[in-house]
Amino acid sequence: MKLSFRNNVVSLAAETPEERAICALLRAADCHIFQLHAATDRGMAFSEIGPEEDARRAPLNIVQSIAPSFAPISNLAHTPFELGGQHYASIEGFWQGLKRLDPVERRAMAKLWGGEAKGRGGSVDQPTEFVYEGVSITAGSPEHWALMRNACEAKFTQNSEAREALLATGERWLTHKVRRDSRTIPGVIMADIWMRIRSKIQEEVVTLR
Ligand SMILES: Nc1c(N[C@@H]2O[C@H](COP(=O)(O)O)[C@@H](O)[C@H]2O)[nH]c(=O)[nH]c1=O
């Protein structure tokens, strides 16, 4: 193995078949971040931290188009759950249904997910006041956000795929930055809901061990 250090770059060149085999294995970690351990002048070791984005702990923007492993966290994802004895195909179906005052229309929205839920929901404005389970709620109020939090809690408690995806975000900061921020559930509120639920689930996982 040839070793050099120039312009802040450590270079290692394989010389034997065994060293070439190790290099071939390391191709899977191309562009990953490694930590250097060089306590002596006899040699060194590099321990893998992970892919650059994870290692730098870059915030994760949770939207439908995120990497598939995190996509179940998105409100648009098909993540069936129940709340108040009603079945919902997605958070978006729940949220957009709140814009419909007619119970039949609200139930129809509950069956939707993805672009269809968002698109059909976006075609009507959120009424300033609406009724949910007999309680009058002001649009965009903390009570309205609490409904989103309850629905997300139900989703992440009942849907294991969504829960695993949320736990896989580890300690990374979550954001919800979209082209046009919602007037009733701003992205910062949405991201806060996900991070609070994540902390709660992480604590539950620790106490179960
Ligand atoms: N625009 C957008 C999402 N917006 C979603 O729309 C909902 C708020 O809608 P509204 O009440 O009409 O303002 C809320 O669930 C939010 O997550 N989601 C995504 O994954 N990707 C996007 O590009």
Mean pLDDT per block of 10 residues along the chain (209 residues) reads 92 95 94 91 90 85 95 98 98 97 96 96 91 97 98 98 96 95 97 98 87
Q: What are the backbone dihedrals phi and psi of residue 168, each rounded to the nearest 5 degrees, phi first?
A: -70, -10
* pLDDT for residue 134: 95
Q: CATH 1.10.357.40: which residues of the chain?
A: 62-208
* pLDDT for residue 17: 96
The answer to whether 181 and 189 have CB atoms below 8 angstroms apart is no
Q: Rounded distance, CA 109 to CA 95, Å?
A: 9
Q: 56 CA to middle of ligand 1, Å?
A: 27
62-208: what CATH class? mainly alpha
Ligand 1 atom closest to the Cα of residue 96 is 11
* pLDDT for residue 14: 95
Residue 74 CB–ligand 1 contact under 6 Å = yes
Query: To test the ligand 1 pocket, which listed residue (76, 126, 152, 179) has its Cβ within 8 A of the most ligand atoms?
Result: 76
* pLDDT for residue 123: 85
Ligand 1 atom closest to the Cα of residue 190 is 17
What is the distance in angstroms between the CA of the first residue and the CA of the last residue of the chain?
A: 44
pTM over 0.80: yes
Could you tell me which of 15, 12, 18, 48 has the C-alpha nearest to residue 30? 48
